[in-house]
Amino acid sequence: MKLKNIRLLSILLLLLLMLSCNNNKAGKKTKKSSDPTPTNVSIQVPEFNADSAYFFIEKQISFGPRVPESEAHSNCAEWIKENLQRFCSHVSLQEFKARAYNNQILNGKNIIAVFNPNKQPRYLLCAHWDSRPYADHDPDPANHQKPIDGANDGASGTGVLMEVARQLSLNSPSAGVDIVLFDIEDYGPPQDRQAYESTDFWGLGSQFWSRNPHTTHYSANFGILLDMVGAPDAQFPLEGFSMYYAPDIGKKVWEIAGRLGYGDRFVFDNGGYITADHYFINRIARIPTINIIHLDQSSSNGSFFEHWHTINDNMDHIDTNTLKMVGDVVLNVVFKGL
């Protein structure tokens, strides 16, 4: 009787020990699966190709001045649309009519590419692709009625964003991105009429889009306009309307530029108030939007770069170093956010 009890007790102890070991193993497995070791994920930003952006600018110029109602304008619009379709499956042409300062009804074409249409947050990137019909700031009065190439004023921002679109097709960001290329931005009144004409005669394409966005109830976390971003040794101070409507966005973008080593170009100085596409996006669409624009208070051409609205705004004054700098900043904003 006593021996049997000892044997029985030994068996019970062995069973309890086995059960305890199994429970410990199960506990360890549960802890491992429910409490994974955290890992630091580094966000890779693609390399901006300035030579590619330069090609996109040069190709726009090859059509001739992109003045609304001209053959060059129509041909260039078709080329931009077809190339964006190589990079994006959601490309649309927003056709509209707008009344110019001289009462002429112009046919405009905003070109829109949408990346990751169902993702949030959303970032708006924009530029204008048309060119000025008048070289009204040219030092030679004989050129004042001639159209300009608009290599920097128009084509540079579009070229940078086309290269951004190419990069987005190869490296999808976690955010949604809308690229909008506005038309009829630069068909404002000639210099000798500007004193008594409304500023609303500028940015006609952005005004139309702001009232009729490509998506119903469209909104974006912020917008960035690229305006004259290709000249050598360009300086980008904080533009006035950008700091009035979207000061936090401007400061954060400039801080990113500084971390990338471009603080000597993206300077924390106050620039002038420029009535460009971002002004209407802020005022009408209520999307906080900044303007990355080359401004130079020492310029002989107002506060703009030397060849602004002259026949010398051509490919001779486009610098890949400036394109690279601006493209790097934009891609870092898109892939890392603010």
Q: Could you tell me if 205 and 107 are in contact, meaning their C-beta atoms sit under 8 angstroms apart?
A: no
For 183-231, where are the E strands, in sequence order?
Answer: 222-227
Q: Please report whether residue 15 resides in a domain.
A: no
- pLDDT at residue number 303: 85
Average pLDDT over residues 212-227: 97
Q: Please report whether residue 269 resides in a domain.
A: yes
Type of residue at 299: S
Range of the domain at 170: 50-336
Q: Please report whether residue 37 resides in a domain.
A: no
Q: Please report whether residue 210 resides in a domain.
A: yes
Average pLDDT over residues 195-201: 80
Question: What pLDDT digit, counting tens, does each position of 108-127 carry?
Answer: 999 999 999 999 999 999 99
Question: What pLDDT digit, counting tens, does each position of 243-269 carry?
Answer: 999 999 999 999 999 999 999 999 999
**pLDDT higher than threshold 90 for residue 24:** no
> Among 258, 326, 289, 320, which Cα is nearest to 54's?
320
Q: Please report whether residue 287 resides in a domain.
A: yes
- Report residue 299 CA to chain centroid gap: 26
Give the span between the Cα atoms of 142 and 310, in whole angstroms: 11
- pLDDT at residue number 326: 98
Mean pLDDT of all residues belonging to the chain: 89
- Report residue 144 CA to chain centroid gap: 32
Contacts with 40 (C-beta within 8 Å, 6 or more apart), sequence order = none
pTM of the model: 0.87
Q: Please report whether residue 125 resides in a domain.
A: yes
Q: What is the CATH number of the domain that holds 143?
A: 3.40.630.10
- pLDDT at residue number 32: 39
Question: What pLDDT digit, counting tens, does each position of 38-78 carry?
Answer: 444 688 999 999 999 999 999 999 999 999 999 999 999 99
Q: Please report whether residue 93 resides in a domain.
A: yes
Question: What is the count of structural domains for the chain?
Answer: 1
Q: Could you tell me if 208 and 100 are in contact, meaning their C-beta atoms sit under 8 angstroms apart?
A: no
Instruction: Report H helices in the chain.
Output: 2-34, 50-62, 71-87, 157-170, 204-211, 240-245, 247-259, 277-280, 320-336
- pLDDT at residue number 1: 36
Q: Please report whether residue 28 resides in a domain.
A: no
**pLDDT higher than threshold 90 for residue 29:** no
- pLDDT at residue number 196: 66
The first and second tokens of residue 208, run together, are 């139309």
- pLDDT at residue number 322: 98
Percentage of the chain exceeding pLDDT 90: 82
Question: What pLDDT digit, counting tens, does each position of 141-189 carry?
Answer: 999 999 999 999 999 999 999 999 999 999 999 999 999 999 999 999 9
Give the span between the Cα atoms of 290 and 288, in whole angstroms: 7
- pLDDT at residue number 42: 82
Q: Could you tell me if 115 and 180 are in contact, meaning their C-beta atoms sit under 8 angstroms apart?
A: no
